[in-house]
């Protein structure tokens, strides 16, 4: 079953959704393994999923369908970057590019700031941002804090829909 086959009507026959908690509960048994009233979903790489009609659906996409009546045309972004937080206020429909801008800083980041790295040759901190999948150098700075300010300004200019948390 793909996104376009499952309807809001069918979803609401099977599950209830609490937009304030992001929790889905079974209201009708789709199989013998499910108990009515039980919390629906299983964890898959940090995302919650539900099995319906032989297909696994991400809860954030089902929340969007439940609340709006249609699957989003592209991605759904978790604004607070918590993949398990499927409260409707935490979800927004975005393009893939927009979704990729709302990610945490890389694990190998030593500056402590997103978009900031140390450049040994100049002994300065540099700020970089991706725009349409192209890396743009924003400048070199004496401190990581200064470079972070440059990154945050550029983020507001080039990615205005990206939340800053």
Report the percent of the chain where pLDDT is more than 70.
90
pLDDT in tens, 136-161: 899 999 998 999 899 888 888 887 76
47-52 and 55-58 as β-strands: parallel, antiparallel, unpaired?
antiparallel
Domains and CATH numbers, the chain: 8-97 (3.90.75.20), 104-158 (3.30.730.10)
- Given this model, what pLDDT does residue 131 score? 80
What is the rounded CA–CA span in Å between residue 126 and residue 67?
A: 43
Average pLDDT over residues 18-25: 96
- Given this model, what pLDDT does residue 57 score? 94
pLDDT of residue 14 exceeding 80, the answer is yes
Average pLDDT over residues 80-87: 91
- Which is more confident, 99 or 136? 136
- Given this model, what pLDDT does residue 89 score? 95
- Given this model, what pLDDT does residue 26 score? 94
What is the rounded CA–CA span in Å between residue 155 and residue 111?
A: 17
- Given this model, what pLDDT does residue 65 score? 97
Do the Cβ atoms of 54 and 76 come closer than 8 Å?
no
Average pLDDT over residues 121-140: 88
pLDDT of residue 110 exceeding 90, the answer is no
Residue 60 CB burial class (10 angstroms; 0-12, 13-18, ≥19): buried
- Given this model, what pLDDT does residue 1 score? 44
């Amino acid at each position: 079953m793909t996104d376009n086959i499952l309807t809001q009507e069918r979803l609401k026959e099977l599950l209830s959704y609490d937009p304030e908690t992001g929790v889905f509960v079974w209201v009708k048994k789709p199989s013998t393994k499910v108990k009515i009233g039980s919390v629906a979903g299983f964890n898959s790489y940090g995302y919650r999923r539900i099995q319906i009609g032989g297909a696994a659906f991400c809860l954030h996409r089902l929340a969007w369908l439940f609340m709006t009546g249609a699957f989003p045309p592209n991605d759904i972004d978790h604004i607070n970057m918590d993949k398990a937080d499927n409260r409707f206020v935490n979800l927004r429909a975005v393009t893939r590019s927009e979704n990729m801008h709302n990610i945490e800083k890389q694990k190998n980041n030593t500056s402590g700031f997103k978009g900031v790295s140390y450049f040994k040759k100049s002994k300065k901190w540099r700020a970089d941002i991706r725009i349409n999948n192209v890396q743009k150098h924003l400048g070199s700075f004496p401190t990581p804090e200064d470079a972070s300010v440059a990154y945050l300004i550029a983020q507001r200019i080039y990615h205005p829909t990206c939340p800053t948390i």
